[in-house]
Amino acid sequence: MNLTELNKVAQAMVAPGRGILAADESSGTIKKRFDAISVENTEDNRRDYREMMFRTTEAMSKYISGVILYDETIWQKAKDGTPLVEIIRKAGALPGIKVDEGTKPLPNCPGELITTGLDKLAERLPKYYEQGARFAKWRAVIDIGPDIPSYACLHANAHALARYAALCQAAQIVPIVEPEILMDGDHDIDRCAMISEWMLKETFQELYYNKVALEGIVLKPNMVVPGKDGKTRATVQEVAEKTIKVLKNCVPGAVPGIAFLSGGQTDEEATANLDAMNKLGPLPWTLTFSYGRALQHAPQTTWKGKSENVAAAQRAFAHRAMMNSLAALGQWKADLETRKAA
Ligand code: 5MM
């Protein structure tokens, strides 16, 4: 493992004012997104949609540091025959790859999930490296309920994250470590804070036992928010303060950066919360975005699968990328949202 190189890539992923586009929806998830805009879930439509974002050249080169791809996409070529990874690279962003293989029920733990994909991962990683991937992603999914999560679930998922991260670093690939506490449920923000802290402590302990070099990872956590069916909503300031408190208690300063998931927040909530956290700085790590839905909702609903909407959808994507870039610098203002690209 060349840690200097891994650290260079991790630093580039969280470079000031830049963040990650999570475009790694599995075929089932992208189907849900396409169903919502009445687009058929075909390989060509998935390619055209993603090509449209990757060709939003200015936004990609100024605001996007890397793109997380699904296995299908990393091997795909654009309509004109250019590999999609080449388009991403030419725009100045790094290609990355989702390597987990989704979740399965965790035995003896009703309602809880374990992320799969460790078998054969050591053999898959060099192929992705050869294809241009310089970072990878693995997501652990933790649900909050009256009796969950259990210690068994947190421990098993943290262990899998650490095993994945160690294998990535051995293959000279920076692992994005994503322990996601879901927003589903009616729990309050303090319960989310408590479970987030527990999972992060568990994750960093497992990373330590598996000898993962923290200088060569990027952490992708949830923000600390109330469950989406909870009675009490939280203010932006409260989300920012509680998230930073948890992160300061759990994440060593050796980690180059933290790139949040949006987790079902609205586009503007995800931007405002990130901005508020950065305004609380200076912080030990760079804080940026690695959003899927909060970057793609606007371009998706503008595009609707129609070629005549491509330019407007690219403007919508560029706008969200710019807003989140400003938030990553703590320089976003709500009134900038009204100057939306038409
Ligand atoms: C883009 O969605 C990713 C993949 O989801 P599936 O494996 O369920 O198809 C997801 O892992 C994503 O990278 C993160 O959760 C961040 O996305 P959001 O939408 O939460 O910002």
Over residues 178-197, mean pLDDT: 98
CATH top-level class of 3-338: alpha beta
Question: What pLDDT, in 10s, does the model give residues 243-269?
Answer: 999 999 999 999 999 999 999 999 999
Look at residue 342 and tell me whether its pLDDT is greater than 70.
no
Ligand 1 center from residue 102 Cα (angstroms): 11
pLDDT in tens, 109-161: 999 999 999 999 999 999 999 999 999 999 999 999 999 999 999 999 999 99
Distance CA(307)–CA(310), nearest Å, equals 5
* Res. 201: pLDDT tops 60: yes
pLDDT at residue 338 in the model: 81
**Does pLDDT of 325 surpass 50?**
yes
Q: Would you say residue 340 has pLDDT above 60?
A: no
Considering only CA atoms, which of 17, 39, 41 is closest in space to residue 29? 41
Asked about 178 being catalytic, the answer comes back as yes
DSSP secondary structure, 177-243, as one string: EEEEEP--SS--HHHHHHHHHHHHHHHHHHHHHTT--GGG-EE-PPP----TT-SS---HHHHHHHH
pLDDT confidence of residue 278? 98
303 CB less than 6 Å from ligand 1? no
Binding site membership of 33 for ligand 1 (Cβ less than 6 Å): no
Q: What is the largest CA-CA distance in the chain?
A: 53
Question: What's the CA gap between 19 and 248, in Å, rounded?
Answer: 21
Residue with the smallest CA separation from ligand 1 atom 14 is: 261
Q: What is the Cα–Cα distance from 74 to 240, expressed in whole angstroms?
A: 35
CB 226 within 8 A of CB 187: yes
Please report the atom of ligand 1 found closest to the CA of residue 100: 7
Ligand 1 centre to CA of 24 (Å) is: 7
pLDDT-based confidence at residue 320 (cuts at 50, 70, 90): very high
Q: What is the three-class DSSP state of 144?
A: coil
130 included as an active-site residue: no
CA distance 223 to 270: 9
pLDDT of the residue at 225: 98
Q: Which of 52-66, 165-179, 245-259, 328-342 has the lowest mean pLDDT?
A: 328-342
Contact between residue 135 and residue 13 where contact means Cβ atoms under 8 Å apart = yes
pLDDT of 289 reads: 99
Instruction: Give the ligand 1 atom nearest the CA of 293.
Output: 19
Name the closest-CA residue to atom 17, ligand 1.
292
The continuous run of DSSP H or E covering 20 comes out as: strand 19-23
Taking the CA of residue 68 as reference, the ligand 1 atom at the shortest distance is 13
pLDDT tens, 38-83?
A: 999 999 999 999 999 999 999 999 999 999 999 999 999 999 999 9
